[in-house]
Amino acid sequence: MNYSYLLQRIALAILVIWGVSIAVFAIVQLVPGDPARVVLGVQADAERVEAMRERMGLNRPVLEQYTDWFTGVLRGDFGNSLITAQPVAPQLWNRFVPTLQLAIASLIIGLLIAFPLGIISALYPRSAIDVIASIISQVGVSIPDFWLGIMLVILFSLTLGWLPPGGYTPINENPLDWLSHIILPALTAGLISGSIQTRFIRSAMLEVLNENYIRTAHAKGLDRLTVLRRHALQNAMITIITIIGLQMTALFSAVVVVEIVFAFPGLGKLSLDAVLDRDYPMLQGTVLVMATIVTVINLVVDMLYFFLDPRIEYA
Amino acid sequence: MTETTHSGEIAKLKEHVKPDGIWIGVYRRFIRHPIGMIGFFLVAVLIFVGIFGKQLAPYDPNLDMDFAARFSGPTIEHPLGTDNNGRDTLSRILYGAEVSLKVAIIAVTLATIIGTPLGMIAGYGPRVVDEVIMRFMDVLFAFPAILLAIAVLAILGRGVENAMIAIGIVYIPIFARIARGEVLSVKNEEFVEVARALGASDAGILIRHILPNILAPIIVEISLSLSFAILAEAALSFFGLGTQPPDPSWGRMLDEGRDYFRQSLWMGMMPGLAIMLTVMGFNFLGDGLRDALDPKTR
Amino acid sequence: MKRLFYLSVVTAILALAFWSVASAQDEMEPQSGGTLQVAFQNDWESLDPHVTSSYSSLQILNNVLETLTTFDDDLNLVPSLATDWSQSEDGLTWTFNLREGVMFSNGREMTAEDVVFTYERFLDPEGGFSGSSGNIGPEGTVITAVDTYTVTITTPDPVGVEPILLGLNKATGIIASESVEEDGSIQIPIGTGPFMIAEVDGTSSITLEANPNYWQEGLPYLDAIVITPMPDDIVRETALQGGEVDWVLAIAPQSYDALVADDSIVVDTAPQLSYDYIGFNLMREPFSDVRVRQAISYAIDRQQICDAAYFGLCDPVQGPVGTGSPWYFDYAPYGDGPDLETAQALLEEAGYGDGFEMEWLPNSQVGETVRAAEVLTAQLSQIGITSTINAPEWAEWLELEGNFMYDAYICSWNGLIDADQYYYLQHHTGLVFNFTGYSNADFDALVNEGRSTDDFDTRYAIYEQANQILVDDAPYVYMYNKQEIRAYASNVHGFVVRPDQANNFWTVWLSDE
């Protein structure tokens, strides 16, 4: 086992996260609009805005502001919101949990759709199921997620009244309520994610099924399902892990949109609000956290590759 | 003796590197691919509407307000209904097609002409260059796509032109990665070594020999990212960051349709369908191209 | 026998009467207890009364802080923390006698020292606090605690309307000095009001609890209020209809009919003391020419704008004051409906007979301003004015509006109770809300005079003249006056929709069904 490779990947991941912190700080500095003005509102003349900027620490040199912030982050202190003066870190945690729940729920829904459809259509190419799966996945990939969300809300929430159109209840407060709030957003992201995954799983399975060693196993007389179980799946795992990894990162971007449509109090919505309010520390915090999650997921996928080195055994 | 063998070698090289015969095969395979052809048809319709939509529209999309007929469903005067200000939905969709098309094309062109060379240089050049470039790409890649676009728009200001830049920036790392991956797998092949031995410059090799061989996945990616670009523009407009009022953009129309769903469901359905069909078109086209260019995967 | 019969009948009837009156009273009798689930529209920003300008913040403070004077539901000025007040002979000093035995929510009694502390902090120029401090007084105002329960406010010039200004909103509410954190900011203000802030979860939710030390016996009825922001209209309305929240701050005007039809919901309206308007940049051509502004005022179809922007739940107005206010002036020189001929003639006179190009600046977070802009674009194209729209969100909008970087912006002013609020800070030369650059010496003189005295009839005459000058000069072109709409569950009682848009929760109680 080449552990130095692992260490290298981890070091690179840390480098990337640090790079993100610089990038997001730079972005925030470039964004026009003044948080001092946002807080003071209409009734602020130039003098008062200046005084408020002083109070907010916005007039210090950029490097100082960055170092201050970043060293704070390493200690777990993400600073205080410029708008509410409340600390950012607890907010990040509170919002992170719902986003994580939503991402996982969407992934599960997606997998539940994609696995059966993808595998079956790979096993029986050009059959009726294959065609249906194809059509479903094509449509699913093309639907704008916010539109799907709106349609689901209009149907299940406003017309049928079965589910709430947005909002959130923590799972430990009321599990049923939590479920009713998370179903629609998870369905929205999950259906689309599932459609994308179906195509990948199908082509991954097809590739593997056509490999020579599979044909050899066939020739040896093993039935299809055994072949599938023992050889094809194991080797398709790598591709599948890639897919899941990619989907998780894509989902973290997709949930931003879904959260906004469903007024779901997660990181995505928090970051959009932070942009609109020019709440710099909040924006920096949310983007840094989300980028870190994405980087960590990629790292984990890389490490799984490393350990899942395929060795084929013949019966 | 050297002269003749050289020209013979060079001729062989040229043949290997510029395989005209292969493109005809691609064309034939594509024509026979039903999904790909549907996609081609849809995209062709989009391009046609995008170019001629303005002339085809029966009304002015912004200024013709038939207030008495607000929120109407499909009628003779307004085949797709009207919106909250009595503006004709059909006309707005036709105008919106141009916006979607322009944004998609420019954004993807930006991503391609910046991302592809970067990726090629990273793949072909020394390790240091590779690391530096790809780390930058990783940082960009780590941002959730929509957030990156929103951040860029926050800096540049809202509007259609800036939305193109924002979406383009989001897609640069993807083109870079694909280009780099392809270059890595090709750069140790025979014909490259031969070209180098014959004294071709690095740039020359990249442009004249490597690029044609990696075009296939790039073309496929272009088609797929066009569909993403259309969705992204719609999302940004939906959030109020892309196209500005009163100009019609399919995303904005969806946003408005959502606000007024109690008054008229048609307002929201039409632009949603338009987006869906367009995106499907590009996806189908991409599938067809992928299968035609690389028959092994099916 | 007969007498007995009649006696029993009468007794029975009386008994029945008493019983029904008693049970009817039972239904009307406020019950204590319960938690009200409230949905606001936007996030609150800061909870520091001297900094914030956000409506959500001020409405929270409305229930947590109290002012020396206040306005009752009929908009009469009444005592609150001050029991009475008087003006000195020279008009420069107001003396307020404070109510004794008023406790802050932390158990300490409020005294004159607290008033001095609060107002001095607000007026502190180093503090970077908001321009609303103008409601206490201009630069050079001195606050003194004469004794434990008496405070004086001395201004450099006579401010006849001082008691009125102090009661307009809770930005001038009295806070305890213990509210201030180490770094000088206020995260959770401590006040004397009926509720206190118990828990703040970022901008996700706020919990208010009844102030156990509140000076008014028996109030508030509610145990607690939980406030959540829900910026999305559909989400908020469905939350109300589904029972997740009991009370919402605003509904989308297009949902009015649907909610009125819902039996489980009460929808209540009152004409707002506000106006929606177009503000012109007088530093830019062609808007520097009064004829151009008047032309636009003649050309627009106010009823259509009202229908498009606010679904008809409004009245067209040509001046700032609506019919619901005692300060209403019947002055509408711009005709009964759109007058394109006069508009065209004025444009030609000004040299713009062929029209010109311009850009509207509505605010994307306030949908009706964007809708108004769209309709204006279509309407004015009829007199040759081609327009585009730039709709940034609040942060950027404030930058542009505050720095004369616009052609014409669209906005509204709300919560206007006294005449002074309609005219002074927005249109007097060089004052903090004057974003148009308007400057008229006659007008300045009139509004200065108007705030120096407190006699209604004198003031009415003064402001009538000021109004005429302002409407003729048209730095603002007024469009419409909205209805204030509130919607809440049918088991919520005691809430009054006020034209000044204040939300007073201390009279609210919940019944069982």
User: Looking at residue B298, what is its pLDDT?
Assistant: 37
User: Looking at residue C267, what is its pLDDT?
Assistant: 94
Residues of C near B (Cβ–Cβ under 8 Å) read 233-234, 252, 254-255, 258, 304, 307-308, 364, 367, 370-371, 373-375, 377-378, 381, 388-393
Pick among A43, A153, A277 to test the C interface (most C CBs inside 10 A):
A43
CB contact under 8 A, A85 and C48: yes
The low-confidence residues of chain B, meaning pLDDT below 70, are 1-22, 294-298
User: Looking at residue A54, what is its pLDDT?
Assistant: 80
User: Looking at residue C118, what is its pLDDT?
Assistant: 92
Q: Is residue C266 predicted with pLDDT exceeding 80? A: yes
Which residues of chain B lie closer than 8 angstroms to C304, CB-CB? 67
Q: Which CATH class is domain A91-308?
A: mainly alpha
- Of A65-69, A200-204, C359-363, C429-433, which range is least confident? A200-204
Strands C356-361 and C385-389 come out as: parallel
CB contact under 8 A, C51 and A52: yes
A213 CB-side CA count, 13 A: 14
**Which backbone phi and psi does C276 adopt, to 5 degrees?**
-105, 135
CB contact under 8 A, A50 and C399: no
Across the range A69-95, mean pLDDT stands at: 83
Q: What is the DSSP string of C110-123?
A: P-HHHHHHHHHHHH
Output the CA–CA distances (angstroms, integers) from residue C201 to A84, A92, B247, in the order listed.
Answer: 10, 11, 39
Question: Considering CB atoms only, which of B138, B151, B280 is closest to A142?
Answer: B280
What is the Cα C40 distance to its own chain's centre? 15
Across the range C405-418, mean pLDDT stands at: 90
Report the amino acid identity of residue B270: M
- For tokens 């947590």, the residue is C64
- The nearest alpha carbon in chain B to A250 belongs to B144
- For tokens 């956290």, the residue is A289
- The nearest alpha carbon in chain B to A146 belongs to B235
CB contact under 8 A, B258 and C234: yes
Q: What is the DSSP string of A202-238?
A: HHHHHHHHTSHHHHHHHHTT--HHHHIIIIIHHHHHH
User: Looking at residue B78, what is its pLDDT?
Assistant: 85
Q: Does B132 touch chain A (CB under 8 A)?
A: no
CA of C374 vs chain B CAs: smallest distance (Å): 6
CB contact under 8 A, A34 and C395: yes
CB contact under 8 A, C235 and A166: yes
CB contact under 8 A, C232 and A263: yes
B110/B104 Cα distance (integer angstroms) = 10
The terminus-to-terminus CA distance of chain A in angstroms comes to 26
Q: Which residue, among C272, C288, C281, has the nearest Cα to C480 in the 3D structure?
A: C272
User: Looking at residue A313, what is its pLDDT?
Assistant: 29
User: Looking at residue A236, what is its pLDDT?
Assistant: 66
Considering just the CA atoms, what is the radius of gyration of chain B in Å? 23
User: Looking at residue C221, what is its pLDDT?
Assistant: 93
Strand partners, C248: C39, C487
Which residues of chain C lie closer than 8 angstroms to B262, CB-CB? 254-255, 258
User: Looking at residue C346, what is its pLDDT?
Assistant: 93
Question: Considering CB atoms only, which of C307, C378, C391 is closest to B63?
Answer: C378
Q: Does B273 touch chain A (CB under 8 A)?
A: no
CA of C397 vs chain B CAs: smallest distance (Å): 12
For residue C231, how many other CB atoms are within 10 A of its CB? 17
Per the structure block, which two tokens stand in for C67?
């002012």
Pick among A39, A80, A260 to test the C interface (most C CBs inside 10 A):
A39
Single pTM value for the model: 0.78
User: Looking at residue A215, what is its pLDDT?
Assistant: 65
Percent of residues, chain A, with pLDDT higher than 90: 3
Across the range A263-267, mean pLDDT stands at: 84
User: Looking at residue C1, what is its pLDDT?
Assistant: 59
User: Looking at residue A300, what is its pLDDT?
Assistant: 83
C319/C332 Cα distance (integer angstroms) = 7
pLDDT band at residue A47 using 50, 70 and 90 as cut-offs: confident
CA of C372 vs chain A CAs: smallest distance (Å): 20
CB contact under 8 A, C394 and A276: yes
Question: Considering CB atoms only, which of C304, C307, C377 is closest to B62?
Answer: C377
Output the CA–CA distances (angstroms, integers) from residue A24 to A272, B134, C132, C214, in the order listed.
Answer: 14, 18, 35, 47
* Contacts of C333 by beta carbon, 8 Å cutoff, 6+ apart: C318, C471, C472
A41/A48 Cα distance (integer angstroms) = 11
Question: Considering CB atoms only, which of B65, B67, B245 is closest to C370?
Answer: B245
Tell me the Ramachandran region of residue A263: left when phi exceeds 0, alpha when psi lies from -120 to 50, beta otherwise: left
Domains of chain A, by residue range, sit at 3-74, 91-308
Q: Give tens-digit pLDDT for C214-262.
A: 999 888 999 999 998 888 788 888 888 878 889 999 898 989 998 999 8
Across the range A194-215, mean pLDDT stands at: 74
Find the helix packing angle between A280-307 and B145-156, rounded to 10°: 150
A278/A267 Cα distance (integer angstroms) = 16
**ipTM, interface predicted TM-score of the complex:** 0.74
User: Looking at residue A2, what is its pLDDT?
Assistant: 63
Q: Give tens-digit pLDDT for C70-98.
A: 999 888 899 999 999 999 988 899 999 99
Per the structure block, which two tokens stand in for C42?
């936007």
Helix, strand or coil, per DSSP, at residue A86: coil
Q: Does B145 touch chain A (CB under 8 A)?
A: yes
Q: Give tens-digit pLDDT for B9-52.
A: 655 555 455 455 667 777 777 777 777 888 889 889 988 988 88
- Count of A-C CB contacts under 8 Å: 139
User: Looking at residue C26, what is its pLDDT?
Assistant: 46
- For tokens 């004709």, the residue is B88
Q: Is residue A73 predicted with pLDDT exceeding 80? A: yes
Per the structure block, which two tokens stand in for A134?
């194809």
